[in-house]
Amino acid sequence: MADQSIPIGGSLDAAPRERERLPLLDRLHEWVVTVDHKRLGILYVLYALFFLVVAGAEALSMRVQLAVPNNHFLPPEIYDQFFTMHGTTMVFLVGMPILFGIANYIVPLQIGARDMAFPRLNAFSFWLTAFGGILLYWSYIGGFGLYGMGNAPDVGWWAYAPLSTKPFSIGPTVDYWALALIVSGFGTLGTAINIVATTLSMRCKGMTLLRMPLFVWLMLVVSALTLITITPLTAAQVMLLLDRNLGAHFFDAQAGGSALLWIHFFWIFGHPEVYVLVLPVFGIASEIIPVFSRKAIFGYPAMVAASVGIAFVSLGVWAHHMFTVGMSSVGNTFFVLSTMMVGIPTGIKIFNWLATIWGGKVRFQTPMLFCVAFLFQFLIAGLTGIMLSVAPWDWQLHNSYFVIAHFHYVLVGAIIFNIFAAVYYWFPKVTGKMLSETLGKWHFWLFLIGFHLTFDTMHFVGILGMPRSIYTYEANRGWGTLNFIISVGAFIQGIAVLIFLWNVIVSLRKGKEAGNDPWDAWTLEWATPSPPPAYNFASDPVVHSRRPLWDIKHPDDPDWKYES
Amino acid sequence: MIREHVPHAARLSFLLILTAAFAAPSAWADLPQQTPSIFAPASAPASSIFGLSIFTLAITGGIFVVVGGLLAFAIIRYRERANDDTSEPPQIYGSMQVELAWTVIPILIVVVLFLTTARIIFAIQDAPQPKDALDVTVIGHQFWWEFRYPKLGIVTANELHVPVSTARDPEPTYLHLLSADVDHSFWVPQLAGKTDLIPNHPNETWIEPTHTGLYYGQCAQFCGVEHAKMLLRVYVDTPAQFAAWVKDQQQAGAEEPQVAAGREIFETHACANCHAIKGTGALGTFGPDLTHLASRDTIAAGAANNTPQELFNWIKNPDSIKPGCLMPSMQLSDNDIHELVAYLETLH
């Protein structure tokens, strides 16, 4: 057991030969035809960051419009397009690609593999996803042909039928929406299959399932969940396209179709989708919090069980988005119970992170700052989720700004915060350069202040009765001041993101050299050079515990003595 | 029917904290300032929901204080200090007993919260309709509300009148919710939670207002371009006021000879295709019934006050008030519109 199979630090003689510098066109060509999981991971992340800026700009425009009552900054048609595109973009073109991109890069490294199981499928999936995003935004240009430049889907990212059917949404914009998501959905399915196959069959010697890093575990769970959850959306969108273009009547209430059917289909996809986005960031937090607390993760088996449990329960809670559609009292009660049950494994996760910090030596570098903020914000998001699961209260809160506040607490307060943490954490591995800590702290504190100004305030304006999806409101409702604060916070977040992008550019050019293992971490990706060579590991690693690098750094007190 | 009494003081303090502190000065001076806060209930289902929400807030607030406090303590107490040595802290891998404890406690909390919630769900949703309850059929349209009182023979729009309910004389109103086109949602926060209006899927809800007054609401399910201006008003009247309103609404449209020109314009132009005025040839049903238009405070589903000037602007170019609404500009001359407004102003 005690023989050291993995070289650490600079001892690995795997530094790639200095490559000759190719002309620009050849280098671009290399990126387009690449099947390397690391390059595809970088492409995913860059693609997602681009759309993060686009969808962020859409959000800021909406916040200008809502900053004061009765404003005329955006006409209603444009406002409706912006909130539809903002939601669709953030979920499908930012959230999923950036998380699958990080997984693409990190998962093979963490399990000691040289690539994903299906490298060509990997490339195919990325380009499908990328094409889907371009198709969605092409609707701005080609929505009505040249006569209708500037049209885009305007039915909400939930696209409830019959509003999204032909009589109420003429022109092809909704067709763009459905087709684009079907295309990018196939890309997502390809990646999900790939991750499942990779984690199940590409692990290095000694890495049993219960020795996989938690990030890998979470990506396995998420990928399995993705395979289940994308399908109903694709089915519903195919039905919608049939309704719109071939005269079918799935959702046409006047011809005996059902408007309710769409709502069910959408949320059978839509609720697990939230977990597809949030579970990977649980994995990210479970990597970063132990390293920066200098302790092993507390209750690893419980964390794995809770993750699988959340994924499983998440498949049975969709109708808590539908407490107001007029279900029976028994139906409502069932979904109250199933929804509240999600709180139990989620609570276990929060408690285990807390116990990991407890008794540690916490280092507040930028990745950990984002993770600590995540813990508090996710606690609040979970508790407002419990409030929304109380169906009678949900009859009040549903479709109000309280709901917007709740899910942005999850999507921004938990997911985006942890994605930033992940970027600060793994950027040194990917580029060989450290991100600037000074700029990182500016980014963190500004983003934190902006986030709380915006989304804390949204809870209150929701309680005061402001519904979502409205492009303007009357002055006498008492929502004006709060909305102004929300808008100010949004712009502070925008500035923070610009600082982050600036940090990336500056650090790429002049950042401190990272070395192989800048955080003194314990998982396999830190045993390779930064950036890793195309083949990742010169020799196949062998591991004996969940923290192979800990074992090597502490030969007198290795993990495998204690892990059951 | 449940009547959980919320202490007036608690309600008042929430109002003070949440509304008065943040209230923006009103720009439209002729509209009364009123925030439709869900924490200022004035009707039976809204008040029992308010009670449940305070209970839930207390539980979740307690959890937040405990867990948030522990988190804050942990990151402060266990931060790395400048004079720390470089040794790693003791490694602790987990504990079955501790895991069990923090699994069981949340389960107990969930059980309590679930049972409380279930009780309120059944009490609100399965409340039997009393025989003498007022029935109103609410039909959602892009982008306005149609209200029909089948037992009273009244058809009106956007401004719902209901009687106040007292302990001595309970008078709940049962709302039957239909949609003529896409999904909408009926939401007057101070009276009840929202219920959706879904085509071909009739729904029902009820209110039992305990305080008279005007309550604001609006469509709460995105229904198209003018969703934001699909506003809703509920007037909770005293029994006498309500009886008088019913009597007025049951009359046919007023006929005054000095506005015959306007009436002729209405009946001979496309107005009559979409709007009805009882007692005339206008029988359209696509738009709001205008038989008693002048008795309403607002036009265009609350988008503008019902004044001759606003009515003129609305008829001349509806898009100037509500861009994207389904009422077209009829391209009438200004003179014709003045005649038309003069006629509509008589429809009390």
Residue A302's domain comprises 29-561
Q: Can you give the pLDDT at residue A10?
A: 42
Q: Which of A351, A364, A379 sits opposite B79 (nearest CB)?
A: A364
HSE-up of residue B281 (Cα within 13 Å, Cβ side): 9
Is B296 part of a structural domain of the chain? yes
B206 domain residue, yes or no: no
Give chain A's domain count: 1
Could B94 and A386 be called an inter-chain contact, meaning their C-beta atoms sit closer than 8 Å? Answer: no
Q: Is residue B311 part of a domain?
A: yes
Average predicted confidence (pLDDT) for chain B: 90
Residues of B in contact with A351 (CB under 8 A): 67, 102
Identify which of B36, B196, B221 has the shortest CB distance to residue A477: B36
Q: Give the pTM.
A: 0.93
On chain B, the residues whose CB falls within 8 A of the CB of A463 are 18, 37-39
Among A402, A411, A492, A410, which Cα is nearest to A451's?
A492
Convert the pLDDT of each residue in A134-186 to its tens digit.
999 998 887 665 565 668 899 999 999 999 999 999 888 999 999 999 999 99
In a domain, B262, yes or no: yes
The more confidently predicted of residues B281 and A63 is A63
Q: Is residue B188 part of a domain?
A: no
Number of alpha carbons in the 13 Å side-chain half-sphere of residue B231:
22
Going by pLDDT thresholds of 50, 70 and 90, the confidence category of residue A76 is very high
Residues of A in contact with B49 (CB under 8 A): 392-393, 395-396
- Strands B195-197 and B154-157 come out as unpaired
Within-domain flag for A1? no
Domain that holds residue B317: 257-344
The DSSP secondary structure of B79-102, one letter per residue, reads B--TT--SPPPPP----HHHHHHH
How many Å lie between the alpha carbon of B109 and the closest alpha carbon of chain A? 10
Task: Tell me how far CA of residue A392 lies from CA of B117, B172, B317, in angstroms.
Answer: 7, 19, 42
Minimal Cβ distance to B64: which of A294, A300, A380:
A380
Residue-wise pLDDT for A262-280, tens only, equals 999 999 999 999 999 999 9
Assess whether pLDDT exceeds 70 at residue A494: yes
Nearest partner of B302 among B237, B236, B225, B217, judged by Cα: B217
Q: How far is A376 from chain B (nearest CA, A)?
A: 7
Q: Is the peptide bond before A518 cis (omega within 30 degrees of 0)?
A: no
Residue B79: CB partners within 8 Å, gap ≥ 6?
A361, A362, A364
Which of B71, B75, B124 faces A392 most closely, judged by CB atoms? B124
Inspect the interface and report whether the beta carbons of A302 and B94 lie closer than 8 Å: yes
Which residues in chain B have their CB less than 8 angstroms from residue A155's CB? 222
Number of domains within chain B: 1
Per-residue confidence (pLDDT) for residue B310, from 0 to 100:
95
The complex scores an ipTM of 0.91
- Give chain B positions within 8 Å (CB) of A337: 114
Residue among A154, A157, A393, A400 with most chain B CBs within 10 A, to mutate = A393
Q: Is residue B277's pLDDT more than 70?
A: yes
Residue type, B106: P
A355 vs chain B: nearest CA distance in angstroms?
9
Residue B310 lies in a domain: yes
* B93 closest CB neighbour out of A162, A465, A562: A562
Contacts of A396 in chain B (CB under 8 A): 38, 46, 49, 53, 189, 193-194
Q: What CATH number has the domain bearing residue B339?
A: 2.60.40.420
Tens-digit pLDDT profile for residues A282-327 = 999 999 999 999 999 999 999 999 999 999 999 999 999 999 999 9
- What's the pLDDT score for residue A54? 96
Three-state SS annotation for A92-159: HHHHHHHHHHHHHHHHHHHCCCCCCCCHHHHHHHHHHHHHHHHHHHHHHHHEEEECCCCCCCCCCCCC
Query: Which amino acid, A413?
Result: G
CATH code, A501: 1.20.210.10
* Set of chain A residues whose Cβ sits within 8 Å of the Cβ of B323: 75-77
Spell out which residues of chain A touch residue B190, defining contact as CB-CB under 8 Å: 465
Instruction: With CB atoms and an 8 Å threshold, state whether A258 touches B221.
Output: no
In a domain, A12, yes or no: no
**Is position A14 within any domain?**
no
Inside any domain, residue B144: no
pLDDT grade, residue A20 (50/70/90)?
Answer: low
Tell me which of B50, B85, B88 to substitute to probe the interface with A (most A C-beta atoms closer than 10 Å). B88
Tell me, yes or no, whether B295 lies in a domain. Answer: yes
Residue B29 distance to chain A (closest CA, Å): 8
SS3 A450: helix
Q: Above 50 in pLDDT, residue A504? A: yes
